[in-house]
Structure 1
């Protein structure tokens, strides 16, 4: 599934049935002699999958108008609490853009009866998936808590609904205003970061949806305490909200609890949706922007109806057929066929009162963008004229249902069952709206899709073209002076609470981690398995002892290119046929490269497991590395590498490894990012075949599975497809004889002109041994650098509001344990931020170690969050792999609570002090050297300035 480079939601789609071309007839021999792949087993009918999608619920409404929806799921002792308010950026009047999102932040900063940051009491009870988000249509707050902590969660949610304004002071407003502005700078600082502003202004500017959710710097600066309090009073009443409780709860238990905590909150003003007319441009319009990007991007957009319109589902389906999944019309025409684009996508972003249908293409460097634009029009015109096929529509339905089934395992978070119920209730007045959408998708006809698309997408469109070049100055780039409070005004003190203390939390039981079983296939591949029955889905990960460290010396990028080609053609199926087959199965096949392991994975509804494994085995064992596909994916990879060299994160990721590891250690290869561009240009098919033979082989593999199907069935299915697999030739070998050789402490400044933010990276190679248990060190870092409440984040984000978020943590690699801090900060505070980080770390390691309060908070949070943390099969699957890589016992998480409870502050201090030394930190800063260099000279470290282009090629191994 592909995602847009802007803020559009991910699009999933499918396209016409392509002829299955025998690849071997046109291509060089396969890398290893093997029998032809068996035919892929047929998928079950989509109607059968639809039956698996169900979220039973009960609901009631309090006398003050609060709508409450309850779903019972007893699989784990946790409850998702999700509060949705009918207020978003579309409700903001001129001059007050960004208020809804600013208020999302303010509502995390304490209320009258729960003063201080909300993250602390949530962390104390072991909350997981706790956050808040703002969109055009709504603001939501959510957390998943252990069942005994439900009272406290409801107290907190009700207190910020009914007792918030007294806690809003000028200091709190200034703090969160600064945080939001740095969130905005962080987004703007990315390549293509200004595209969405232009689309909204040019296409939807006449509607309440015409400005970005995050708002403008000037409006945020102008906001006063009275402004934000009035905003709250106007929009956040209980009658303007939906509360969903999902998990270890039922309606009979929920009603008195909700009444107890929310019942006394008075109704507020009734929310009324603003008037919205779907705009139509008088004629096609093109806007050209310049930006620091590696390739031209074309984005074509239309304003269309919102989610409740009868045409919404048809437009969703059309978008998916046009440009969503790998088999889309645009992929086949522009990426595989003409090879004039390296990435394409299309999809329909539905809000409640309006929608945005978007087509996007990243132009292959060297190709005329006008040609790509012309081909976009031609493919679109053909699909509008002839419509999708029945097979395409069926594949859209299958992928949609499969995705929803997987999402139903989580009770809360960003996309679980609570989200499905709350969004349906708020947007459409029906908690079961998700089910009606899926049913309509499964039943829709090609003719209905074609009619809706012709109705809305033959109207004039807006095209935004982003070309490589220097980004022009824009209104938001210059800081605006915030309104100054009256110095003679009396200082407002927060209102003292009247509801008493927060509810206590009863004892919370320890995690019951699924039993992990181990067995082997007949060829020796180890199978590590856990049984989970919450959803009928099987997830399989094949982990190979390879990773970036296995990239051939002098040929960095071989693994990246080889991995990208694995599912782009086998000896019997071409890339389109593979994509279509997995869409019919509702399966996803993916891969990735970590530092120490290369991963290939498949996930599918268990009724389609046989077919998914047929396809997966073909991809793993018989990649064709067809010459035409090699050239196509080579161009895509080179464009990706060039893109890395335009982003702060990509540049920082390339600059740091040589300083930390040196060039002789295999981990120094991380300096190549996705690859050395000159090497990638010269790689041959033989290089890729050799890599596959050396590393993607059974004696390098271990299989991890989480499934609702029994182990015997899963093993038999894997044995049938992989049991006769044998390696060919010598296996690859990684040598870690050369230890990491860190450089002397210094600051490397990577010049990225006109950056509104600087990315600061600080790193140290610790003396920790990766084959030892590091739980104490990791727990100590919870206080210093990991998580929202860490010392460094609370300082630079909350106290100084110079950053949107700062994180520090250990990278527990197989052969080394470095420590890294990442801090994106506003450019004019770069030097001060480095000094603050040094001070925070030094203070923690010397005179101000872990306090008893921090110890209690950290231990309680770590123990109590375990049930929520490992709620899903994906989380269990990840834990199984990490335990294996770190040589932990399979039952580690069943015993870890005892280890946490035994920790003392003195032990945490000793562990941190033995591991970290700020005097040994290496610093990389990615930012505007003209603005940043003068700030660094007084820090006391040597400063070296390099241009971004210098990082394209890593230093050769010595």
Structure 2
């Protein structure tokens, strides 16, 4: 289950309520209004039904894949709690994953082997939701499970379960607060809302309130808030509405409506004057937040204000980014955003102050830009760019049905918050027609004080059907569907550049991925961090565009261009709207083939990369990721540099433009590249366009190679300790080298890892989280790599359980290849969870591109994914355990523990000999041995 996060992120821009002035506004408004017809109509067709018990059902058809999104929103969140009883909504999110009366087991256990993807739940101020994408054959099972926990939960909630999940939630709270800036949200909530306001506490609640919660308290909470009349169910995907309605009536019809509803009306709690506070934290950079209380999510004027916000803070061409990060270079990042809550929202400017810069200087610059915006208002070009971004995002959203930002989430969100999904279409229409003058008027209006009103409405008479679906067993999930990805088509340009195309015509977008055999591994022999910095520089100036002009052109086209690196690969990606394909390709070719490497951009990006390194060192997982490659691979291997690819502070500080240009010329060349295209085009259409833009590109010099030599494993386990003074948790990680991704036993190794620590009900997570309550989550993973790849098992644990957690993890790893091999039930579960999830992981063009990139990067057969189900089904437990023996070597593990060594070092040293560990070292954040 995710930490509390807002799913109301469709609004791309959120800004300070400002009063716009000047005669230029009226002139700009007239010009802007003439462009409203440029933006297409975007809507999500649906049917809506209200069951006799009050349950709202929304159905949307999307037949592009045999996939269904099931998304349940309860109109209850932390704002419905009361002081002294905070955290109940989030606690119940956990309890509702933990078993119901007729399926008293982990919710994930029933759906992971059924192929569920994009499955989770979350709690926020105004709602709690549960969502999953499932193959069409699994819809009955998903509905049965959702209806069982809606209507038949409390019989499965006892004191032991409450204590268990209370411990998990408290560890989640500690884990969040253990992160840099982890206590900011609580501080801001209390400082910006009056005592007793529903938003004056955060969704995760207080430790004291959670510890004080009794079994009677939590059961009363459920009975008050989780009835059918307080829920919205969205079914989106490859369905027929009439059949869905019958199924929902069958499974949900007997559930009581619940008591009369009580929902808080608008309460903006507008602040006046300037309030200031200071808090301290162990962080590498100062951070400046500025927060205003503004209208709620459904308010028309909040939508209008969001356009002004994007001008201030959306992208490189936003006013604050240009001033703070690009021009003055006094900040390493700035975000402007709205927390779009139901009864009142918050507008935040969140700035990461560059190290060595006084926060007061940053604050002054922000104030100057706000005053300039107040005097001048937005330009026609700024408003047009913002509108293009909104509609491009809406078009791309048509590819997804999932409950975490897809169409089912949009329908549910607007139904729950606004009473109708149509508000989504209305918002887009308001954005289409918005003018600078309207922005000025709304900003002026919101300079006045807010108001609170309470409206009491009659409660409708609801009645349950009295008919209950059978509850004696889960519905069967049926045979897993074989994946049927579109075939790969191949061609070659005149310069030898390989083209690979997969057609997908459901949405008018095309995804391009120009992939190079380079990546962080290409940093060998040069300054670490060069690969990352080179790729980051490509879109900081290209062709005739400087960095800001290039960003503006992308915005004008609604194109998404990104550059970057992974361990083995460098990439330049484009997601283009079909209607702007030719113009977008021209810009894409400039970025890939004609970067200008401006000196001023290098100095700015070096500072950002240095700041990122310091952030990594402040985060336990980031710190471990920096030091484990050299421990595993040694000094000269291509994989030995910090795992993030960011390099070291010394190396990045010394990188020059000639370093970047040399790296670009050596590695980014047509004979070292493949261009993957996925989406709404054909080979006949796209090849001439690509020949025009890329055909003249030529390679020079000898094609480079990397040192990917095989590394011998350690003869005995070892322990590496890293100090993090004051840490409330310790990160415990075990890591070693596994065979490469191309190994013939790769699928068997994936299944073994899944059973061990690759999903929620795996051995490690069930032990440390569910049984012991020492951690919010414990997992394992095998990374992808062309050579030997890292295997790691890891868990953030409460400090006083560091030694016990390491001992338990060691026992689990040893027993998996010893006296407790993976059994047939675990193999079946792991296999089902992998193979049935494939349709949900290949829904959008970008997701398809990721799958095909795996094939191309690691030299796998074209039919790899389409054959995956059959190959996985043939594997028996004997083969799975043989694969586990192949990659899991407990006697060769490198243990890394990051925590407060004043508390944990001595007991860890005492533990080491009992586990066969003969070498214990303390290293700093760069991996340098201290003792």
**Do these two structures clear the TM 0.5 threshold for a shared fold by scoring above it?**
yes
Mapped partners of 1:127, 1:642: distance in 2 = 37
Closer, same or farther: CA 559–768 of 1 in aligned 2, 3 Å: closer
Query: Is contact 2:532-2:645 (8 Å) kept?
Result: no
**Residue deviations 1:464-486 (CA, integer Å, cap 9, x gap):** xxxxxxxxxxxxxxxxxxxxxxx
Closer, same or farther: CA 6–312 of 1 in aligned 2, 3 Å: closer
Mapped partners of 1:534, 1:102: distance in 2 = 40
Is the counterpart of residue 323 in structure 1 residue 313 in structure 2? yes
Is the counterpart of residue 185 in structure 1 residue 174 in structure 2? yes
Mapped partners of 1:737, 1:122: distance in 2 = 41
Mapped partners of 2:739, 2:243: distance in 1 = 52
The alignment partner of 2:721 has SS state of strand
Closer, same or farther: CA 11–59 of 1 in aligned 2, 3 Å: closer
User: 1:933-948 to 2 correspondence within 5 Å?
Assistant: 933-939=905-911, 940=913, 941-942=917-918, 944=920, 946=922, 948=924
Mapped partners of 1:948, 1:321: distance in 2 = 42
Tell me the residue number matched to 1:109.
98
Is the counterpart of residue 650 in structure 1 residue 640 in structure 2? no
The alignment partner of 2:614 has SS state of helix
How far has the Cα of 1:851 moved from its partner? 2.1
Tell me the residue number matched to 2:458.
none
How far has the Cα of 1:196 moved from its partner? 1.5
The alignment partner of 1:176 has SS state of helix
Tell me the residue number matched to 2:839.
867
How far has the Cα of 1:131 moved from its partner? 0.9
Closer, same or farther: CA 256–384 of 1 in aligned 2, 3 Å: same
Partner of residue 411 from structure 1, selected from 396, 401, 404: 401
**Residue deviations 1:157-200 (CA, integer Å, cap 9, x gap):** 01000100000011111111111111111111111112121111
How far has the Cα of 1:949 moved from its partner? 4.5
Mapped partners of 1:776, 1:834: distance in 2 = 26
Tell me the residue number matched to 2:107.
118
Tell me the residue number matched to 2:424.
434
Query: Is contact 2:589-2:694 (8 Å) kept?
Result: yes
Closer, same or farther: CA 438–742 of 1 in aligned 2, 3 Å: farther
Tell me the residue number matched to 2:829.
857
Is the counterpart of residue 376 in structure 1 residue 352 in structure 2? no
Mapped partners of 1:655, 1:112: distance in 2 = 47
Mapped partners of 2:6, 2:594: distance in 1 = 35
Is the counterpart of residue 175 in structure 1 residue 164 in structure 2? yes
Query: Is contact 1:568-1:575 (8 Å) kept?
Result: yes
Mapped partners of 1:261, 1:735: distance in 2 = 59
Closer, same or farther: CA 737–142 of 1 in aligned 2, 3 Å: closer
The alignment partner of 1:114 has SS state of coil
How far has the Cα of 1:911 moved from its partner? 1.5
Query: Is contact 2:115-2:134 (8 Å) kept?
Result: yes
Closer, same or farther: CA 681–505 of 1 in aligned 2, 3 Å: closer
How far has the Cα of 1:14 moved from its partner? 11
Mapped partners of 2:574, 2:739: distance in 1 = 37
How far has the Cα of 1:844 moved from its partner? 1.8
The alignment partner of 2:337 has SS state of strand
Tell me the residue number matched to 2:188.
199
Mapped partners of 1:769, 1:447: distance in 2 = 57
Mapped partners of 2:795, 2:766: distance in 1 = 12
Is the counterpart of residue 131 in structure 1 residue 120 in structure 2? yes
How far has the Cα of 1:706 moved from its partner? 0.7
Partner of residue 239 from structure 1, selected from 219, 229, 232: 229
Partner of residue 537 from structure 2, selected from 565, 571, 584: 565
Query: Is contact 1:46-1:397 (8 Å) kept?
Result: no
Mapped partners of 1:46, 1:882: distance in 2 = 41
Of the structure 1 ranges 727-736 and 930-939, higher mean CA displacement relative to structure 2 is found in 727-736
Is the counterpart of residue 719 in structure 1 residue 695 in structure 2? no
Tell me the residue number matched to 1:578.
550
Closer, same or farther: CA 147–931 of 1 in aligned 2, 3 Å: same
Mapped partners of 2:240, 2:440: distance in 1 = 44
Closer, same or farther: CA 65–748 of 1 in aligned 2, 3 Å: same
Tell me the residue number matched to 1:145.
134
Query: Is contact 1:7-1:196 (8 Å) kept?
Result: no
- TM-score, normalised on structure 1? 0.89
Partner of residue 754 from structure 1, selected from 712, 726, 744: 726
How far has the Cα of 1:928 moved from its partner? 0.7
How far has the Cα of 1:947 moved from its partner? 5.7
Query: Gaps (5+ residues) in structure 2?
Result: 16-33, 451-468
Partner of residue 280 from structure 1, selected from 235, 256, 270: 270
Mapped partners of 1:205, 1:654: distance in 2 = 43
Is the counterpart of residue 266 in structure 1 residue 256 in structure 2? yes
Query: Gaps (5+ residues) in structure 1?
Result: 16-43, 461-496
How far has the Cα of 1:771 moved from its partner? 4.5
Mapped partners of 1:371, 1:152: distance in 2 = 58
The alignment partner of 2:564 has SS state of strand
Partner of residue 93 from structure 1, selected from 79, 82, 98: 82
Mapped partners of 1:556, 1:459: distance in 2 = 54
**Residue deviations 1:741-796 (CA, integer Å, cap 9, x gap):** 65852111100011111111111123567453511111122111211121111111
Mapped partners of 1:699, 1:91: distance in 2 = 60
Partner of residue 659 from structure 1, selected from 619, 631, 634: 631
Closer, same or farther: CA 457–585 of 1 in aligned 2, 3 Å: farther
Tell me the residue number matched to 1:394.
384
Is the counterpart of residue 230 in structure 1 residue 220 in structure 2? yes
Partner of residue 251 from structure 1, selected from 241, 249, 258: 241
How far has the Cα of 1:672 moved from its partner? 7.4
The alignment partner of 1:518 has SS state of strand
Mapped partners of 1:636, 1:915: distance in 2 = 37
How far has the Cα of 1:274 moved from its partner? 2.2
- TM-score, normalised on structure 2? 0.92
Tell me the residue number matched to 1:449.
439
Tell me the residue number matched to 1:475.
none
Query: Is contact 2:5-2:122 (8 Å) kept?
Result: no
Query: Is contact 1:208-1:276 (8 Å) kept?
Result: no
Query: Is contact 1:384-1:453 (8 Å) kept?
Result: no
**Residue deviations 1:544-599 (CA, integer Å, cap 9, x gap):** 11111101525112222222221111241111111111111111111221111011
How far has the Cα of 1:276 moved from its partner? 4.7
Partner of residue 385 from structure 1, selected from 367, 375, 378: 375
Mapped partners of 1:204, 1:535: distance in 2 = 43
Is the counterpart of residue 704 in structure 1 residue 676 in structure 2? yes
Tell me the residue number matched to 1:473.
none
Query: Is contact 2:715-2:892 (8 Å) kept?
Result: no
Mapped partners of 2:431, 2:570: distance in 1 = 36
Partner of residue 540 from structure 1, selected from 504, 512, 526: 512
Query: Is contact 1:552-1:558 (8 Å) kept?
Result: no
Mapped partners of 1:927, 1:157: distance in 2 = 40
How far has the Cα of 1:376 moved from its partner? 0.2
Mapped partners of 1:144, 1:675: distance in 2 = 38
Is the counterpart of residue 302 in structure 1 residue 292 in structure 2? yes
The alignment partner of 1:643 has SS state of helix
Query: Is contact 1:315-1:348 (8 Å) kept?
Result: no
User: 1:44-63 to 2 correspondence within 5 Å?
Assistant: 47=37, 49-51=39-41, 53-63=42-52
**Residue deviations 1:659-717 (CA, integer Å, cap 9, x gap):** 11111211111367511211221222111111111112222211111111222212222
Mapped partners of 1:205, 1:711: distance in 2 = 61
Query: Is contact 2:288-2:350 (8 Å) kept?
Result: yes
How far has the Cα of 1:59 moved from its partner? 1.4
Mapped partners of 2:110, 2:6: distance in 1 = 34
Mapped partners of 1:724, 1:528: distance in 2 = 19
Of the structure 1 ranges 201-210 and 573-582, higher mean CA displacement relative to structure 2 is found in 201-210
Mapped partners of 2:921, 2:822: distance in 1 = 37
Tell me the residue number matched to 1:802.
774
Of the structure 1 ranges 734-743 and 690-699, higher mean CA displacement relative to structure 2 is found in 734-743
Is the counterpart of residue 597 in structure 1 residue 576 in structure 2? no
Closer, same or farther: CA 97–148 of 1 in aligned 2, 3 Å: same
Tell me the residue number matched to 2:803.
831
Query: Is contact 1:186-1:757 (8 Å) kept?
Result: yes
Mapped partners of 1:67, 1:146: distance in 2 = 23
Q: RMSD across aligned C-alpha pairs, in angstroms?
A: 2.4
